[in-house]
Amino acid sequence: MRQEIRKKIVESNLNGIFELDKGKKSIYFTKNLLPGEQVYGEKLIRQGKDEFREFAPVNSKLAAAIRQGLKEFNLKENSIILYLGASTGTTVSHLSDVTKNGMIFAVESAPIVARDLVFLAEKRHNIAPILADANKPEEYKDNIVNVDFLYQDVAQKNQVQIFLKNLPFLKKGGLAFLAVKARSIDFAKKPEEVFQDVEKELKTHLTILQKIDISSFQKDHCVFVCKK
């Protein structure tokens, strides 16, 4: 559904992310790469010649991190991204809006889910779907180049190890986002204890810029924003 609005959508302090101030909470958007096209039933809002897609925190861990105060997000129109755990492409599609002249290498291991990702890539020229196990980067190392941004959303027990295995693809100085699902790592521990363990391990490899609790939108989840 496309809507017209009275309040103005403006650029936020994060590259490629737009916001509409609605009372105490802003609503976030990306500028639609393919006007008129929805990806997963999100709201489309028209403003002048531009069309925006709502980027809701209940649909994306990245959007949840933005709502919870994300500070570092230096993507550009030509940035190259490695996305691990792409699923059907909800968040990937918004990154596609932001990096309209770049490329997103989207890795997904489930064939049925990856099918929707392939359909998305047929419409969006800057998405390269890769059917592979993110735990085995040697399977796709010859198909991608070094990237500016590494994003991982893989709900497995060894999700931190998977993240570290893929760090060699990230350029020096590049940003890395890790969405941690505590219950997938250790169901018996309290989520905050799991997050503390993850933080300790990440510090031996990366500089942690932010630790963002997004559990109010994504239960038992925390996003780590790191720099190589």
- pLDDT (average), residues 124-129: 98
Question: Exposure of 119 by Cβ count < 10 A (0-12 exposed, 13-18 middle, 19+ buried)?
Answer: middle
For the stretch 94-116, pLDDT in tens is 999 999 999 999 999 999 999 99
Whether the Cβ atoms of residue 62 and residue 89 lie closer than 8 Å to each other = no
Which positions ≥6 away from 133 have C-beta within 8 Å?
A: 109, 139
* Residue 9 DSSP symbol: P
Helix axes 90-98, 111-123, angle to 10 degrees: 30
For the stretch 171-210, pLDDT in tens is 999 999 999 999 999 888 998 999 999 999 999 999 999 9
Domains and CATH numbers, the chain: 2-56 (3.30.200.20), 66-227 (3.40.50.150)
**pLDDT at site 3:** 56
**pLDDT at site 7:** 67
CA distance 40 to 27: 17
Q: What are phi and psi for residue 74, nearest 5 degrees? A: -100, 35
**pLDDT at site 188:** 87
